[in-house]
A and B are shown apart, each in its own frame.
Chain A
């Protein structure tokens, strides 16, 4: 396996001028700015092989996009070394750009008022793709992504799912070695999400494209990425498989119950506003209460989920129950709060 991305001790510090309040303050900020430094990426090392599919997760502002920008050569690192596809991004940005495809879920690179096909044709010239190769790729991509039915529709009239398929085609017409996807399934319905994921799996298997994706959707990671990297405060907290992180950190599940009104009225609450439930089995805690709704967290190892439902059902009159899987954001928060740094270099 050849390396696609090699990153060693990458750092990025931003200097941010603090603005003072008021008019005089604004003037003072210009004359004598109060500089605050922010460590956006902190000693990050990373090795990605060609053909890998990696999920990059972390809360907003964790340093994901700063990292991606440095990988693409858009942003110059404060220190550390990067090689992507054998190139040094900051020195060979334009050369590298020919090997990178990028899709930003929130923004499109397509020309809004024109038929999709026009954008796809123009991109041939932006990336200097030969006519032959472009025709071949366009044919293959429109088949895989089922673009034919809306190739002649102006982009502004496409549904979000169609637009995303169009954007994927646009990012792949020049056969990039590395595909960067920023929240590729955001806002899509279940069917559209499944379709995008299916396509990405096929792309990765057939073309061997290396895929780096950031997402808040845990299903994206689970279906697409054997490997995931968690970043927070610019540091790599975790680098490994999704299943092992679930085992180690996602073991707490949450059950939401809605009590019958009469039952709800009888509850007594403690100082924190949480109700007293007598004789709760060990390992079960009430974490939140909102009117008749209660959230209970429990460990699967201590008590199986159906046992907890049965236990509650025997003692309280319930209107509804629902299980909530741990959100990746919660898992990351727990990893961070508990100071469990897993990354080893």
Chain B
């Protein structure tokens, strides 16, 4: 299945870089490049791409205007959007309109690869199963599937599936993925409410684990239990939460 993409950026070098990096993805076919918002809009209407790389600041309108224009004009399907910009202040807005990712210039090949891969997965899954809905929480709102935050000078649209475990540190929580940790100003309780309990389990007052990354639960020498993750990390479990994990194990 070929995926069609449009690149929108007012700088030719920026478009060139995108084109060059996209060579790694033979399944992506760049069907056009727009240097202005106007051009981009007509290009998207004409080619109906699956994926749009969009700069926020362009000479005539900004990237959000482009999206507004496209969605009001009764476009059949909105393309997946990856923002590429030098400004970090539009990240929340981008997140709210369900952009796939937000790349801060300059970005590395790895970062670009991850964003594009994410977009491809998204496009494929929505083509195969367009009516898939996120699991709903007790009050009817769906559980969060992504978290947006600033960490170490970057914007991250982190899919919760990439979180291995979460630890409490006073007024903060530390979110640990396979490769990195991020300190967020958040409470465990609030976070626990947002996360799907079928995947995320509170095992301790100060830790939540993603069950997808759990290798085993085994008793320790002191009679307590410990949760061992696939990457070898060990997280202590407290008595009060043990029955919960037992229930889950017995399912």
Please determine whether chains A and B interact with each other in the same assembly: no
Binding site for B on A (CB under 8 A): none
Binding site for A on B (CB under 8 A): none
